Amino acid sequence: MLDLDPAETFRQEAAELLETLETVLLDLGQRPGEGHLVDAAFRALHTIKGSGAMFGFDRVAAFTHDFETAFDLIRKGRIEANHDIVTVALSAKDYLRILIEDPDSTDEIIGEAIVAALHRLVSGLEAAPAEAHAPTTSDQAPGWLIDIAFRPDILRNGTNPLNLLDELRDLGPCTVTARLDDVPDLTALDPEGCFIAWRVALRASCPREAIEDVFIFVRDEMALAITPFDAGASRETLAPSGGLVDADAETAPASAAPNPSVAGTDRPVEKTEYNRRADDKSSTVRVQAERLDELMDRVGELVIAQARLSQLAHASDDLAIKAIAEEIERLASGLRDTTMGVRMVPMGSLFGRFRRLVHDLARDLAKPVEFVTVGEDTEMDKTMIERLADPLVHLIRNAIDHGIESPERRAIVGKPAIGRIELSARYVGAQVLVSVQDDGGGLDTARIRAKAEEQGLLQAGAGLSDNEVHQFLFHPGFSTARAVSALSGRGVGMDVVKRTIEGMRGSIDLATLPGRGSSVTLRLPLTLAIIDGLLIRVGGGRYIIPLSAVEECIELTAADENRSRGRSFLSVRGELVPFLRLREQFGAEGEPDPHPKVIIISTGEVRVGLVADQIIGSHQTVIKSLSKLHADVTMFSGATILGDGSAALILDVAQLVGLGQMQAEIDKMTEAA
**Domain presence at residue 1:** no
For residue 484, the tally of other CB atoms under 10 A from its CB is 11
Query: Given this model, what pLDDT does residue 239 score?
Result: 39
Q: Which of 59-63, 436-440, 559-563 has the highest mean pLDDT?
A: 436-440
**Domain presence at residue 283:** no
237 has pLDDT over 50:
no
pLDDT band at 493 (very low <50, low <70, confident <90, very high): low
At 296, which helix (H) or strand (E)?
helix 289-314
pLDDT mean over 356-368: 88
Shared-domain flag, residues 535 and 585? yes
| Overall domain count for the chain | 5
Burial class of residue 419, CB neighbours in 10 A (0-12, 13-18, 19+):
buried
Shared-domain flag, residues 185 and 309? no
Mean pLDDT (the chain, rounded): 78
489 has pLDDT over 80:
no
Query: Given this model, what pLDDT does residue 323 score?
Result: 92
Shared-domain flag, residues 36 and 123? yes
Select from 86, 105, 132 the last residue of a domain: 132
234 has pLDDT over 60:
no
247 has pLDDT over 70:
no
**CATH number assigned to the domain comprising residue 419:** 3.30.565.10
pLDDT band at 488 (very low <50, low <70, confident <90, very high): low
Distance between CA atoms of residues 239 and 224, nearest Å = 18
**Domain presence at residue 281:** no
Of 650, 558, 528, nearest to 601 by C-alpha is 650
245 has pLDDT over 50:
no
pLDDT band at 487 (very low <50, low <70, confident <90, very high): low
**Domain presence at residue 438:** yes
165 in Cβ contact with 247 (< 8 Å): yes
Shared-domain flag, residues 340 and 359? no
Select from 479, 500, 525 the last residue of a domain: 525
581 in Cβ contact with 630 (< 8 Å): no
**CATH number assigned to the domain comprising residue 171:** 3.30.70
pLDDT digits (tens, 9 = 90+) for 617-636: 888 777 777 777 776 777 88
Per-residue DSSP letters for 607-634? Answer: EEEEEESEEEEEEEEE-BPPPGGGTT-T
pLDDT digits (tens, 9 = 90+) for 496-509: 888 888 778 788 88
243 has pLDDT over 60:
no
Quick one: DSSP state of residue 533?
E
- Backbone φ and ψ of 502, nearest 5°: -65, -30
Shared-domain flag, residues 541 and 435? no
Q: Which of 8-12, 224-228, 235-239, 320-324 has the highest mean pLDDT?
A: 320-324
**Domain presence at residue 193:** yes
277 has pLDDT over 50:
no
**Domain presence at residue 508:** yes
Distance between CA atoms of residues 499 and 478, nearest Å = 14
252 has pLDDT over 70:
no
pLDDT mean over 174-191: 85
pLDDT digits (tens, 9 = 90+) for 422-438: 999 998 766 788 999 99
651 has pLDDT over 60:
yes
| DSSP three-state, residue 26 | helix
pLDDT digits (tens, 9 = 90+) for 511-522: 888 888 999 999
Per-residue DSSP letters for 403-431? Answer: ISPPHHHHHHTT--SSEEEEEEEEEETTE
276 has pLDDT over 60:
no
pLDDT mean over 397-402: 88
Burial class of residue 456, CB neighbours in 10 A (0-12, 13-18, 19+):
exposed
At 358, which helix (H) or strand (E)?
helix 354-364
Tell me the residue range of the domain where 359 lies: 347-525
Burial class of residue 327, CB neighbours in 10 A (0-12, 13-18, 19+):
exposed
pLDDT band at 235 (very low <50, low <70, confident <90, very high): very low
Query: Given this model, what pLDDT does residue 435 score?
Result: 93
Shared-domain flag, residues 642 and 548? yes
Shared-domain flag, residues 56 and 17? yes
**Domain presence at residue 284:** no
pLDDT digits (tens, 9 = 90+) for 578-607: 888 888 888 888 888 888 889 998 876 778
Q: Which of 241-245, 458-462, 499-503, 556-560 has the highest mean pLDDT?
A: 499-503
**CATH number assigned to the domain comprising residue 608:** 2.30.30.40
Q: Which residue has the higher pLDDT, 266 or 34?
A: 34
pLDDT band at 421 (very low <50, low <70, confident <90, very high): very high
Shared-domain flag, residues 627 and 663? yes
78 in Cβ contact with 126 (< 8 Å): yes
For residue 250, the tally of other CB atoms under 10 A from its CB is 5
Select from 487, 503, 525 the last residue of a domain: 525
Distance between CA atoms of residues 197 and 54, nearest Å = 32
257 has pLDDT over 60:
no
Shared-domain flag, residues 128 and 195? no
Query: Given this model, what pLDDT does residue 178 score?
Result: 87
Shared-domain flag, residues 115 and 194? no
The answer to which of 41-45, 106-110, 554-558, 666-670 has the lowest mean pLDDT is 666-670
pLDDT mean over 538-548: 88
**CATH number assigned to the domain comprising residue 96:** 1.20.120.160
Shared-domain flag, residues 353 and 462? yes
pLDDT digits (tens, 9 = 90+) for 154-179: 887 777 888 888 888 888 888 888 88
Can you give the pTM of this predicted structure? Answer: 0.64
**Domain presence at residue 658:** yes
Shared-domain flag, residues 466 and 515? yes
